[in-house]
Amino acid sequence: MLTRSRSVGAAALLALLGCGRSSKDDSTASERVASEPSVALATSPDPVCGRIVFATEAEHELQRLEWIAASGGPISPVTTTPLDAGFSEFPAAPTPDARALLVLSSQTLAEGQTLDHFGLLELDALPGTPRAIGPQAQLRNPSWAPDGTWLVFESNAESFRDLYRLDLASGSVLRLTNDPQGNFEPAVSPDGQRIAFVSSRDGNAEIYVMTADGGSPTRLTYAIGDDSAPIWSPEGQTIAFFSGRERERGIDLFVMDAEGKHQRPLIDDPTRTQSIIARDASFSPEGKHLAFTQLVPSGEGGGVVIVDAQTGKVVARTIGERVDEQPTWSPDGQHLAFARNRGEHSDIARIRVDGSELVVLTSGEGVHWLPRWVADRECPRAAPPRPSPASRG
C-alpha cells in the first residue's frame, strides 16, 4: 500500500523506474506534504535520522552552512561566521565518524583566484566555529582517511596542481605528488592504504593509484579521453570513475577492479537515447548501489540516477523541473538527499533508494545546495563490507 508521502513522490515530482509504484494521487496532497515535512515523517515506513548539512547562498553570493533534520524541520545555522568575514563556506566532507565536518572556506581574490582554508567543525554543538587546519591556498577535493587522522586534498600551493596529505594531530602537510601536468581528485581507499587519483603526467587524464604516503604510483587506465573522479567501493575491491573514452556515451560512469583490470562501462540503461554527462558519483554505505547526477548535454536538465552497483541497472531516477544533482547517502543507505534546482531557487530534497517517498525539505524560497547527510548517534548505519585489515610496517 502506498503511503501518502510515497505517493507524493511518485505523483508529483518523481519518475520511478522499475519499481511500479507510480501513483495518480492528486497533486494537492503532494504539495502539502512537500511543504510540511513533518507529515512525511509521520507516515514514513522507515524513519530517517541524522541531519543534512548544506550550503545556502546569502548576500553577495556568499555561501553559508545550514542544516536541517533529515526528517524535516526548521533550518538552523551551522557556523557562527559573520557574513562580513568576506568568505564563503562550503560543506567539504564529514569526518568518517560523523562527529565533525570539514568546512572549506573560500575567499575570492582578483583574477578568478580563491584563497581557501579548511576548518574542522565539531557537530555536537551547533552553531560553532570551525577550527582552522592546514594550509591557505586554493584547496579542492579533500578525502578523509577512514580513521579520520589525516586527509588528502589537491592544491595549487606549490605547483599547477598536486596532492597533499594533512595529518590532523601534528598539522604537518606532506606533498604526495610532483608533476607539472597536474594531479587531481584524490580518494583514500577504505583500508587507508591507497589513494586513487587522477594525473595528467602522461599527457592525458588517467586514473592512478599510489600508497597513502605517495609511493608506487601506478597507472590504471590508458584511454583516449579523460578518466576522472575515482571513488572506491566500500569493500575496496572496485574503483568507479568517469570516462570520456566512448564518445557515444559522453562522459559516463565506468568501473574497474582496484588493480585496473576489467574496465567497463557500468550503466545498463536501455532508455538512454543520447550521450550524457555524469558526475557526483557515490557508493551507498553498504556498497549495493551507486548514485550519480546525469546531465543531458543538450541542456534538457538532469537528475539523480540510482543504479545497482553490480549490474548497472537503473533502480530509480529523479526527474525535476530543471536539474537534480549532488546526491548524498543516508548512513543506513536507505535514503538519499540531493539538490533540486528550479529556476532561481534550489531546494534540498530527500528520497528513498527505490525512488519513492520524495520530500522537499526546504521551502523553495532560497538557494540551498551541496547537501551532506551526516549521521547522529541515533542513526542506524549500514554495515559496510570490511576491507581487509591494513598490514603494519
Partner 1 sequence: MSRLSLASLSLLLLPLLFAGCDDDRDGRGIGDPGIADEGNDDAAEQDPPEVPEGLDEMFAAASDEFDVPATILRSVAQVETLWQMVEGSVEFDGQEPSVGMMALRGANLEEGAALAGVTVADATNEPLANIRAAAALLSAMADEQGISDRSNYEAWAEVLGDYSGITNVDARNAYIHAEVFPAIVASTPTVGDQGGRDIFAELPEDQTVGAGPDYAGSIWRPSPNNSARPGGSAGDPSMVVIHTCEGSYSGCWGWLVNPDSGVSAHYVVNNTGSEISQLVAENRKGWHVGATYNCSLNGNTDCAKNGSGSNNFTIGIEHAGYAKQASWDANQIDASARLVCDISQGQDIVRDQYHIVAHGRLQPYNRIDPGPNWPWASYLAAIQTYCNEMPQPEPEPEPQPEPQPEPDPQPNPDPNAAISIIIDSNDALNGSNADMTVSNAWTSGSGPTDWQTGYWWRSTQAVSDAAVFSFYLDAPAQLVVDAWWVSGTNRSAAAPFMIFNSSQQKIGTVYANQQQNGGKWNTLGIYNFQAGWNHVDLSVWAAAGYVVVADAVRVRTP
Site string for partner 1, 105-144 (x = CB under 8 A): -x-xxxxxxx-x---------------------xxxx---
When the beta carbons of 26 and 300 are compared against partner 1, the nearer one is: 300
When the beta carbons of 210 and 307 are compared against partner 1, the nearer one is: 210
Peptide bond into 77 cis (omega under 30): no
Q: Does 215 bind partner 1 (CB under 8 A)?
A: yes
When the beta carbons of 110 and 125 are compared against partner 1, the nearer one is: 110
For the segment 9-68, give every residue that binds partner 1 (CB under 8 A).
Answer: 57, 60-63
Among 180, 321, 363, 386, binds partner 1 (CB under 8 A): 180
Q: Does 146 bind partner 1 (CB under 8 A)?
A: no
What's the closest the beta carbon of residue 19 comes to partner 1, in angstroms?
27
Candidate segments 3-11, 41-49, 213-221, 264-272, binder of partner 1 by CB under 8 A: 213-221
Cβ pair 151, 102 in contact under 8 A: yes
What's the closest the beta carbon of residue 391 comes to partner 1, in angstroms?
4
For the segment 66-95, give every residue that binds partner 1 (CB under 8 A).
Answer: 87-88, 90-92
What's the closest the beta carbon of residue 26 comes to partner 1, in angstroms?
28
Candidate segments 28-36, 71-79, 240-248, 304-312, binder of partner 1 by CB under 8 A: 240-248
When the beta carbons of 23 and 108 are compared against partner 1, the nearer one is: 108
For the segment 298-357, give every residue that binds partner 1 (CB under 8 A).
Answer: 298-302, 322-323, 341-346
What's the closest the beta carbon of residue 211 comes to partner 1, in angstroms?
4
For the segment 267-286, give every residue that binds partner 1 (CB under 8 A).
Answer: 275, 277, 279
The secondary structure of residue 201, as a DSSP letter, is: T
Give how far Cα 116 sits from Cα of 86, 107, 194, 348, 383, Å. Answer: 12, 6, 26, 25, 35
Among 210, 239, 309, 337, binds partner 1 (CB under 8 A): 210
Candidate segments 4-12, 14-22, 46-54, 222-230, binder of partner 1 by CB under 8 A: 222-230
What's the closest the beta carbon of residue 222 comes to partner 1, in angstroms?
5
Residue that has been written with the C-alpha cell 598490514 in this structure: 391
When the beta carbons of 60 and 131 are compared against partner 1, the nearer one is: 60
Q: For 383-389, which contacts have Cβ atoms below 8 Å and span 24 or more sequence positions?
A: 383/286, 384/190, 384/234, 384/235, 384/285, 384/286, 384/287, 385/234, 385/235, 385/286, 385/287, 386/235, 387/189, 387/190, 387/191, 387/234, 387/235, 387/236, 388/191, 388/236, 389/191
Cβ pair 331, 98 in contact under 8 A: yes
Give how far Cα 159 sits from Cα of 140, 154, 155, 176, Å. Answer: 14, 10, 8, 12
What's the closest the beta carbon of residue 27 comes to partner 1, in angstroms?
23
Q: Which of 76, 72, 75, 94 is nearest to 358 (CA)?
A: 72
Q: What is the DSSP string of 233-289?
A: -TTSSEEEEEE--SGGGEEEEEEEETTS-S-EE--B-TT--S-EEEEEEEE-TTSSE
Cβ pair 335, 315 in contact under 8 A: no
